[in-house]
Amino acid sequence: MRIATFNVNSITARLPRLLAWLESSGTDVVCIQETKCSAEQFPYEELRALGYESAVNATGRWNGVALISKVGLEDVVTGLPGGPDYEGVQEPRAISATCGGVRVWSVYVPNGREVEHDHYGYKLDWFRALSAAVAEDAAGERPFAVLGDFNVAPTDEDVYDPAVFEGLTHVTPAERAALEALRAAGLSDVFPRALKYDRPYTFWDYRMLAFPKNRGMRIDLVYGNEAFTKAVTDSYVDREERKGKGASDHAPVVVDLEV
């Protein structure tokens, strides 16, 4: 089975590229973030034409997550159980389902904005709810993984220049401790290969030629339980999909499993 996580940064804007990538990559399950559309606007029919079922948690022009699968979508849970509101709203940032015997979550963790901003506290609260929500599946014998845009670089090696990010979100001790809490729940970071590059970054800003200069971050992550990680035969960043006109500012992270 081939599973990927991909922040598409608007599925409407990225649809032609996404459909072409799905056909060429042979991916069975994709965890999508930043749909930036309502559930009604999601391209169900276009994906169904390629053999994919869709489960969507999306409410409008911001955020939004989805799961698309060629191997089934069972026991879908929309949203983060016990998750916090932001400004009185439960944002569409999580969805989970069982696909071909593997339980997967697609998550879009809050950005945090600035360390002093309310959104940063919301981000940490959201992480705490995530750790609690996944604990049972993480400890189970069924392959299980949380995939998505975590908006945290796990270590200084996961940003192109730690000095540039000093004092900013995505690299603070509290955010990295939130990832440690996921590991304590029984999940491990499935580290991807970079493919021709020494750092497996997954995000590059559109500005300042960040992608050609490889000034990136590894913030799109795959955290799997023991049954999942034991089944992994390969994992990599598909950097080619970040190239060219109309690309997302993220690249897909792809994991192959023997299940």
pLDDT at 200: 95
pLDDT at 194: 84
* pLDDT tens-place string over residues 171-201: 999 999 999 999 999 999 999 998 878 889 9
pLDDT at 198: 80
Q: Three-class SS of residue 205? A: coil
Q: pLDDT band at residue 75, thresholds of 50, 70 and 90?
A: very high
* pLDDT tens-place string over residues 219-253: 999 999 999 999 999 999 999 999 999 999 999 99
Global pTM reads 0.97
* pLDDT tens-place string over residues 148-158: 999 999 999 99
Q: Of 38, 51, 100, 48, nearest to 75 (Cα)?
A: 100
Burial group, residue 93, by CB count within 10 angstroms (0-12, 13-18, 19+): buried
Q: What percent of the chain has pLDDT over 70?
A: 100
Tokens of 113: 């904005």
User: How confident is the prediction for the chain on average, in pLDDT?
Assistant: 97
Answer yes or no: is pLDDT of 8 > 80.
Answer: yes
Domain spanning 72-248: CATH superfamily: Endonuclease/exonuclease/phosphatase (3.60.10.10)
The arithmetic mean of pLDDT across residues 48-69, rounded, is: 97
Stated as kind and residue range, the H or E segment containing 78 is strand 74-78
Residue 103 CB neighbour total at 10 angstroms = 23
Q: Could you state, in order of their start, the residue ranges of all structural domains in the chain? A: 72-248
The arithmetic mean of pLDDT across residues 57-66, rounded, is: 95
pLDDT at 197: 80
Which strands sit side by side in the sheet containing 2-7, from one edge to the other? 53-57, 65-69, 29-33, 2-7, 253-257, 232-237
Instruction: Give the Cα separation of 196 and 239 in Å (integer).
Output: 9
pLDDT at 195: 82
Residue with tokens 């006109």: 245
pLDDT at 228: 98
Q: What percent of the chain has pLDDT over 90?
A: 97
